[in-house]
Structures are given as structure tokens and as C-alpha cells.
């Protein structure tokens, strides 16, 4: 029997790894991260049930972006612009093709 993947999608694993790396690099304390993520999950969970897949990791990403912006490690406007660019790239990419962010 083939074991089930730990993460539902590759970006979930990448986001998890990035968060661990930022913590290990001293960008934030894990206890602060956990408290903030718990608050985001609670806020999202009040509107609908989270399934541990994209909903869960979208909340994870939201928390990481807010944490990095609030602590001055990232610009909130730049984060939003980059997120929007990736979404546009995803939407215009044919199914099965790698998504790339084409910047001139």
C-alpha cells in the first residue's frame, strides 16, 4: 500500500518549509507564530469548516504574510502585488504546465 502524502499539494509543503526556515533564521518566535495562526484559524473557522487542505494553508499563508509585514520583514503592498501576480499567472497557465511568474 502506497503511503498517503503528508501534504495535499506541493505549495502546502513549500509554505510549511518556508515558515520553518523563517523561524529558524530568527524572523519570529514559534510561540508567536502559533498564537497568530490559531487566531487566524479561529477567525476563518467561524465562517466555515476548514478541511486541512487549501483552506488551512490559505489561512497559514495569510498569517505568515501578516506576521512578516507587521514585523517589518516584508512590505504588505509588495506582498499583495506579488500574490496577485502569482494568481494571474496560475489562471493563465494551461492545466499541467508549470506556473511561472513572468517579470520583465
pLDDT of residue 104: 41
Q: Could you state, in chain order, the average pLDDT of each consecutive group of 10 residues for the chain (104 residues)? A: 80 93 95 94 78 86 93 88 88 88 64
pLDDT of residue 83: 86
pLDDT of residue 36: 95
Return the beta strands (E) in the chain as ranges: none
In this structure, the chain runs to a length of 104
Look up the pTM and report it. Answer: 0.78
pLDDT of residue 53: 84
CB hemisphere CA count around 85 (13 angstroms): 11
Q: Residue 77 phi/psi, 5° resolution?
A: -65, -40
Task: Domain ranges for the chain, please list them.
Answer: 10-92
* All three cell numbers of 36: 497568530
Amino acid at each position: 500500500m502506497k503511503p498517503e502524502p503528508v501534504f495535499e499539494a506541493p505549495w502546502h509543503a513549500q509554505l510549511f518549509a518556508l515558515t520553518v526556515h523563517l523561524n529558524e533564521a530568527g524572523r519570529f518566535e514559534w510561540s508567536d507564530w502559533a498564537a497568530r495562526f490559531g487566531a487566524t484559524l479561529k477567525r476563518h473557522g467561524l465562517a466555515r469548516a476548514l478541511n486541512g487542505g487549501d483552506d488551512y494553508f490559505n489561512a497559514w499563508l495569510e498569517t505568515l504574510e501578516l506576521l512578516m509585514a507587521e514585523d517589518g520583514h516584508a512590505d504588505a503592498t509588495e506582498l499583495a502585488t506579488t500574490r496577485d501576480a502569482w494568481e494571474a499567472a496560475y489562471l493563465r497557465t494551461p492545466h499541467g504546465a508549470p506556473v511561472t511568474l513572468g517579470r520583465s
